[in-house]
């Protein structure tokens, strides 16, 4: 009996020691942020990264869990519906997809394909609460889920307790700024994809070809760019205006231009 009690005591000590060590190690991943405050907002002097290099990097197709995602452009006023979830201290202080440090007390969110710094109004369809968030991360990679809210945003919307909620999201701005008033619908053009439809040694031939296909399918514009090949100029004709690699591939599959292929902008 004493031996059994002794073994139990040893087990309890080992378990407690393990928990202390584990907690101590994991806490090093967190940065020191203020305690949650429902009125907390990001200071206005915090600079948001809107560099073209960041947008190019975060608008490239990427693969998670065997599925490829194609970031795309949206317009002010666009609305989408789905399920919202939230993420908190396990990611607090870690890097987001756009290079920031995730702050669970900021009004931010993760989306699989929207441009970084897109501003959204998220409405919880269960209680009609709404909140404005900024996209600074990728996710959630779970079927039916459309957005992953920060702890602060989820708290304001009343999502924390249940973990998920049906929501409607509306695009209300870009670059971290909300569009005020009755602004016209605007589209962020962040695509780095073009499709080459021809190449010419003479600039006149390239220009004539580009004029012939100045506007294709009412949305793709032609452009001519000069390069050097084998110590001689070559003029390549491209179509621009593709919102994603997937859209460009779908266009090529139509077979309108023999030998067409995708290039970087």
Which parts of the chain are beta strand (E)?
A: 62-64, 67-69, 79-87, 108-110, 119-124, 130-137, 145-150, 165-174, 177-178, 193-200, 215-216, 220-229, 232-242, 261-264
Q: Domain boundaries in the chain?
A: 52-178, 193-264
Mean of the pLDDT values across residues 1-28? Answer: 38
Secondary structure percentages of the chain, helix, strand, coil, to 5: 25, 35, 45
pLDDT tier, 265 (very low <50, low <70, confident <90, very high otherwise): low
- Structure-model confidence comparison of residues 227 and 44, the more confident one: 227
pLDDT tier, 208 (very low <50, low <70, confident <90, very high otherwise): very high
Task: Tell me the three state secondary structure of residue 94.
Answer: coil
- What homologous superfamily does CATH list for 52-178? RlpA-like domain (2.40.40.10)
Please tell me the predicted confidence (pLDDT) of residue 77: 84
Please tell me the predicted confidence (pLDDT) of residue 162: 94
Q: Give the list of residues 6+ apart from residue 155 with CB closer than 8 angstroms, or none.
A: 36, 38
Mean of the pLDDT values across residues 150-155? Answer: 95
CA–CA gap between residue 135 and residue 73 (Å, rounded): 13
Instruction: Output the average pLDDT for the chain.
Output: 79
pTM of the model: 0.58
pLDDT tier, 228 (very low <50, low <70, confident <90, very high otherwise): confident
Task: Tell me the three state secondary structure of residue 153.
Answer: helix
Q: Give the list of residues 6+ apart from residue 172 with CB closer than 8 angstroms, or none.
A: 76, 119, 120, 121, 132, 178, 179
Which pair of tokens denotes residue 255?
A: 């077979």
Q: How far is CA 148 from CA 141, 171, 259, in A?
A: 9, 16, 41
- For residue 250, the tally of other CB atoms under 10 A from its CB is 11
Question: Quick check: 91 pLDDT over 60?
Answer: yes
Cis check: omega of the bond before 135, within 30 degrees of 0:
no
Strands 193-200, 232-242: pairing is antiparallel
Assigned architecture for domain 193-264: 2-Layer Sandwich (3.30)
Please tell me the predicted confidence (pLDDT) of residue 139: 94
CA–CA gap between residue 76 and residue 105 (Å, rounded): 26
Please tell me the predicted confidence (pLDDT) of residue 44: 52
Give 182's DSSP letter: S
Task: Tell me the three state secondary structure of residue 142.
Answer: coil
Please tell me the predicted confidence (pLDDT) of residue 185: 45
Mean of the pLDDT values across residues 155-172? Answer: 94
**Exposed/middle/buried for residue 62 (C-beta within 10 Å: 0-12, 13-18, 19+):** middle
Report H helices in 113-227: 151-157, 203-212
Segment 94-149, tens digit of pLDDT: 899 999 989 999 999 999 989 999 999 999 999 999 999 999 999 999 888 999 99
Highest mean pLDDT range out of 58-72, 160-174, 182-196?
A: 160-174
Q: Which residues pair with 149 in a beta bridge?
A: 86, 109
Q: How far is CA 6 from CA 13, 16, 17, in A?
A: 11, 16, 17
Question: Quick check: 83 pLDDT over 90?
Answer: yes
Mean of the pLDDT values across residues 162-191? Answer: 75
CB 111, CB 84: distance < 8 Å: no
Please, what's the b/e burial string for 159-186 (b: 16 or more CB within 10 A of its CB; e: otherwise)? Answer: bbeeebbebbbbbbbbebeebeeeeeee
């Amino acid at each position: 009996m004493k031996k059994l009690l002794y073994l139990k005591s040893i087990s309890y000590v080992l378990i407690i020691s393990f928990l202390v060590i584990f907690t101590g190690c994991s806490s090093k991943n967190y940065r020191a942020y203020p305690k949650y405050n429902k009125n907390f907002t990001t200071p206005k002097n915090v600079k948001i990264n809107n560099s073209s290099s960041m947008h190019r990097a975060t608008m490239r197709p990427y693969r998670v869990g065997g599925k490829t995602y194609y970031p795309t452009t949206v317009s002010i006023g666009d609305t989408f519906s789905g399920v919202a979830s939230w993420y908190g201290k396990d990611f607090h202080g870690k890097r987001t997809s756009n290079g920031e440090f995730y702050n669970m007390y900021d009004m931010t969110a993760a989306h699989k394909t929207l441009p970084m710094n897109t501003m959204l109004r998220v409405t919880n369809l269960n209680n009609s609460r709404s909140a404005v968030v900024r996209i600074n991360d990728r996710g959630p990679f779970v079927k039916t889920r459309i957005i992953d809210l920060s702890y602060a945003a989820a708290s304001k919307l009343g999502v924390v307790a249940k973990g998920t909620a049906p929501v409607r999201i509306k695009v209300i701005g870009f670059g971290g700024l909300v569009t005020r008033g009755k602004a016209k619908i605007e589209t962020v053009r962040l695509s780095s994809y073009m499709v080459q439809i021809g190449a010419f040694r003479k600039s006149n031939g390239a220009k004539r070809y580009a004029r012939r296909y100045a506007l294709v399918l009412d949305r793709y514009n032609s452009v001519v760019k000069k390069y050097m090949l084998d110590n001689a100029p070559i003029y390549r004709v491209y179509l621009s205006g593709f919102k994603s690699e997937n859209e460009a591939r779908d266009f090529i599959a139509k077979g309108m231009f023999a030998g067409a292929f995708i290039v970087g902008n």
